[in-house]
Every structure is written in C-alpha cells, then in structure tokens.
Amino acid sequence: MNETASQAEIALKSSFERMKNAGAQSLRRGAWEAFSRSGLPNKRDESWHYTDLRAALRAVAPMSGETKTATSAIERKQASCRFVVLDGAFRPDLSDLSLAPSGVAAQSLREALAHGEAEVLAALAGDVDDPAVALNAALMQDGVVLRIAPGTVLDTPLEIANVTSNAGAQSVYSRSLAMVGKGASATIIETLEPLAPSEAQENHALTLRIEDGARLEHVCTVAPQAGAAVRVLSLLATLGAKSALNSFCLIEGGGLLRRQVFALLAGESADAAFCGATLLRGRDHADTTLQVRHEGRGGKSREFFRYVVDEQATGVFQGKVSVAQLAQKTDGAMQSKALLLSDGATMNSKPELEIFADDVVCGHGATCGRLDADQLFYLQARGLPEREAEALLIQGFANEALRLIAREAMRDMLEARVATWLARRDIR
C-alpha cells in the first residue's frame, strides 16, 4: 500500500497477512498485488463511478470465524440440493452432501486450495481486472467447489447458500466454483440470505466454467440486509463453444450492494443471457455492472434488467458489451428500464458497446420514468383503489424480467417475493 492508504486498506493488509498462507499462496499474492495498485475503488474509477466503496468502508470489520449455528435456523427456500457457506465457511453438516445427484461432486474450496488442485487453481486464475474481485481472491476464506460431470443432466437444482449469521459487524470473503462438463445440463441457485439483518461487510464471488455444449440455468436471490451493510457480489463466467448460460438475479436492497458480472463468451456460438429485477426503498443503494466479452464467432448475448426505486434509494446499471475483431456474426442486445416511485429516487444508467468486428447486430437502450398516469386512471376507473392499482402496475413491470426464467416453480417463488416487497410499501 502507498502512503495515502486509508485506515480500511491498512486493516485489509493485516487481514491478508493472516490469510496469505491459507492455500494458493501464489494466487493470493498476485491478487493482493493487483488490489494494492489501486486500493479500494472510488468515484475516480470509471467502472465504480456511481458506487464509492472506499467511502463506504471507512472501517473494516473483523473477519468472520466459523459460526456454529443450528441447522433449523437456516431455511431452505426452494426444493434443491443445498450447499451452505456460513459466514464464509463451507458447512458440510448443514449441506445435503449425501443427497447430491449422480454426476455431481462437492468439495470445500479451502480443502482444494490446501491440496493445490491444479484444475481449481486454473479455474480461479481469471483475467478480470477489478479491485473487489482481486480482494476476494486475496482474502477468500472458503466456499464450495461443484463439479458436474460431462453429459450429466440434472432435474434437481443445486443451491449455493451464502448465509451470514447474526454475529454483528463482521467481514466475510467467500468464493465458490462450479465446473459444468461438456454436454451437461444443470440449474444452480445462488442465495444471499442473512439469518438476521446485520452490519456485515460481504465480498462473495462465484466462478462458472461452462464447457462446450453445456447448458446452465443460474438464478440468484439477494435478501435485504441492514442499512449499514456493504456487500459486493461477483459472477465470473466463461462459456465454451455452443454452450448456453441463462442467469437471473432478484435484488431486494438493503444497505449498499454492488453486483458485478464478468462474462467471457470464448467459444464459437456461445449463448448468454443476463437478466434481473432490483427493488429498492429507504436509502438503499444497488449497483449492477456487467462486462460481457465476445471472443468467439457467432455468439449471442442478451441483457434485460428492471429497477423499481422508491423513497431516497439509488439504482445503478452499467453494461458494457465488447466484441473482438474475430467475433464476427455476434448478436447482442442490452436493455435497462427503471421505474421511479418518488421524487427522491435516483437512477444512473450507462450502457456501452465496444465493437471491433464489422459483421454484427448489436444494440442497447435505457429508459427511466414514473408510473403511467393513464394506466393508473384506467385501473382506478374500473374500481381498483389507488394502492392496488399502483401495486398491480409495479408488479407487472418487475415481473417482465422474471418471465425469462425457465423453471415455472422458480418464477412463482420470485413473483411471490416481489409481491411481499410491494405489500410492505407505504403509499405516500
């Protein structure tokens, strides 16, 4: 760290000194050096312009330890084979290891790193240039490694549950990895669920390696935390030839949240869709930032996001699609729409295209507005009270993104969560 390092960055260096020998020493050291060159991101960093992590982390909470929490305190949110990472530590005793379907192997990341497993180290050593991802790699405590064998077709979803306890202010660094073999098909559910709202500082990362011809449905849900919580959630995906990834995330606010997606469509005819709905109120701040890189010929990508922003909350959407010179025949489309429910609500949108190929079809769009007065009048003229009319329009707006989820049961569950969020909204 340089002489202008903040107190938080000095504390992070102390955390690194404690973690630098916890497996994957070379990977950790390189990641820490990358983080040290820039430090905590702030508004001067272009991709972090709307989310000042340096200002939010003026003090760093102590790193979490392994928390012994009763199994009954962690509720399963949907029918799935669950793998629990509690306060940054993989917990086999709370997971469904014995119920893992044929063709699926699960392992602690800590164990894989301690054994120096080359396949895991290679998968984690990506080329993403981001200080929060680098910090996660330097300080990663644990997580789960899932291996889905080539040709495996799974009917039961696999759930990676990142759970924070009610231990108060603590910092958590987890990293999980899912490797989907050639021709395999699976659904992975990623959840961030606090047992109780707390002022936790969380940095989670999920790395996906999707081999040629594999198909993966990924659904992420982020439950609210306390107002002082700071959370960074990173998804790093690499797609092989003729593979497909359909990824959706529902964010329900709570404190400061940054969700970032780094996707590399490396193989020919790779297909990726990234969608989401974000619901914000109070002084919530939620930032979704995507970087999608097309390097293989004939790739297809779709980005489709909906924001509902109420009271004094702030929403951020940044999307960048890059098309390499050799990635001819690329088809890309990006869209972000925001619904502002109050005068104090703020939305920042920044879609970008960076194209070096000359035979592509790419476009983007972003809109921001209020509820349609004519639609409200129409519903109220037919007998609906104002509160119900507004809720119906808001729910329909948010559910547009949910319709892109393939599993009907999952769509129904998320629509119910949207309805619950709306039921708590006060009409002013």
83-106 burial, b for 16+ CB within 10 Å, e for fewer?
bbbbbbbbbeebbbeeebeebbeb
β-pairing, 201-210 vs 89-90, is unpaired
Please state the rounded mean pLDDT for residues 392-406: 92
Distance of CA 203 to the CA centre of its chain: 10
Kindly tell me if the per-residue pLDDT of 338 is higher than 90.
yes
Cβ count near 26 (within 10 Å): 10
pLDDT at 3: 54
Kindly tell me if the per-residue pLDDT of 386 is higher than 60.
yes
Instruction: Return the structure tokens found at 289.
Output: 């930032």
CA nearest neighbour of 129 among 4, 242, 253, 35: 35
Q: Coil, strand, or helix at residue 73?
A: helix
Mind listing the pLDDT tens digit for each residue in 26-85?
999 999 999 999 999 999 999 999 999 999 998 898 898 744 454 445 655 556 799 999
The answer to which of 9-23, 66-80, 282-296 has the lowest mean pLDDT is: 66-80
Q: Decide if 355 contacts 362 (C-beta within 8 A).
A: yes
Higher pLDDT, residue 213 or 391:
213
The whole-angstrom separation of Cα 333 and Cα 312 is 30
The whole-angstrom separation of Cα 173 and Cα 423 is 33
CA nearest neighbour of 87 among 18, 169, 189, 157: 169
The per-residue pLDDT of the chain, averaged, comes to: 92
The whole-angstrom separation of Cα 334 and Cα 210 is 22
CA nearest neighbour of 209 among 235, 232, 191, 231: 235
Percent pLDDT > 70 in the chain is 95
pLDDT at 72: 43
Instruction: Return the structure tokens found at 396.
Output: 């329909």
pLDDT at 244: 98
pLDDT at 370: 94
Question: Number of C-alpha atoms within 13 angstroms, CB side, residue 148?
Answer: 28
Kindly tell me if the per-residue pLDDT of 5 is higher than 80.
no
pLDDT at 261: 98
Q: 232: which strand partners? A: 203, 258
Within 8 A by CB and 6+ apart from 377, the residues are: none
From start to end of 310-382, where are the E strands? 314-323, 331-340, 346-355, 361-369
Q: Which of 20-29, 95-104, 197-206, 277-286 has the highest mean pLDDT?
A: 277-286
The whole-angstrom separation of Cα 349 and Cα 413 is 28
pLDDT at 268: 97
Kindly tell me if the per-residue pLDDT of 341 is higher than 50.
yes
pLDDT at 427: 47
Please state the rounded mean pLDDT for residues 87-106: 93
Instruction: Return the structure tokens found at 292.
Output: 């999608």
pLDDT at 99: 86
Mind listing the pLDDT tens digit for each residue in 184-236?
999 999 999 998 888 889 999 999 999 999 999 999 999 998 888 999 999 99
Q: What share of the chain is helix, strand, coil (3-state, %, to 5)?
A: 25, 40, 35
